[in-house]
A and B are shown apart, each in its own frame.
Chain A
Amino acid sequence: DGGITQSPKYLFRKEGQNVTLSCEQNLNHDAMYWYRQDPGQGLRLIYYSQIVNDFQKGDIAEGYSVSREKKESFPLTVTSAQKNPTAFYLCASSPGTSGGLAKNIQYFGAGTRLSVL
């Protein structure tokens, strides 16, 4: 089945530690996204990538880093500089230019819930 896989489902971070959230897609989509969702709030864009080896900061990139070395993968690292990392993290992908009018429809993974120990 095609889709987006996020792992782990739950993650705990210790003080001063960097942690990496995995996002893999087998939809052959060009674009990928990372969002942060806090309780009772909407989605806030952290980083996005429209093509392999390229990515742009979103609205709340400070304390986070990403890479896009393969089309299928877009891992997010939450660094120790992110002082309030507890949140639900969502990864998404969209077809991109080849998708016609569907190019901007985003498909989501099941999310990773990150907590601080």
Chain B
Amino acid sequence: GDSVTQMEGPVTLSEEAFLTINCTYTATGYPSLFWYVQYPGEGLQLLLKATKADDKGSNKGFEATYRKETTSFHLEKGSVQVSDSAVYFCALSNNAGNNRKLIWGLGTSLAVNP
């Protein structure tokens, strides 16, 4: 079945460092891919998305490119801030049929130190 694998955390960085959180997936067909962010004590928010191969999603300085050849959707940011400290989830939706469920990675915790 479909699955999402994220790099394990926690990831600890200093402010202004470069961030990469790896995400790879297994899916039939042409899934849509998402990154969500969860700040402490809150629900999840959609950070960015990509719906087809080679699409680049971007938001708040974060970027991720849908790479079908490597089945990956790695999250990157050039210069992290303390306010980026959160848990990041990679997810996919298989757009076949009436399936509305998202398949979730386990989440990667990021801590940014001043």
Contacts and interface: CB of A to CB of B under 8 A. Distances in A.
A103 B100 CA distance: 8
B6 to A, nearest CB: 9
Greatest chain A CB density within 10 A among B43, B100, B101 is at B100
Contacts of B49: 105
Interface of B: 32, 34, 41-46, 49, 51, 89, 93, 95, 98, 100-102, 104-107
What is the interface residue range for chain A against chain B?
20 to 34
Interface string A37-64: 0000111010010100000001000000
Given A41-B106, A42-B105, A42-B106, A104 B43 contact: no
A106 B45 CA distance: 9
Greatest chain B CB density within 10 A among A45, A58, A108 is at A108
Interface in A63-117: 90, 92, 94, 96-97, 101, 103-111
Nearest to B44: A108
B42 A105 contact: no
A109 B43 contact: yes
B43 A101 contact: no
Contacts of B107: 41-42
A45 B44 contact: no
B100 A48 contact: yes
Given A42-B104, A42-B107, A111-B41, 19 more contacts: A4-B43, A41-B106, A41-B107, A42-B106, A43-B44, A43-B104, A50-B100, A90-B44, A97-B98, A101-B32, A101-B95, A103-B100, A104-B95, A104-B100, A105-B34, A105-B49, A106-B46, A106-B102, A111-B43
Contacts of A21: none
B104 to A, nearest CB: 5
Contacts of A48: 100-101
A27 to B, nearest CB: 13
Contacts of A106: 44, 46, 102
B43 A105 contact: no
Contacts of B100: 31, 48, 50, 94, 96, 103-104
A99 B15 CA distance: 38
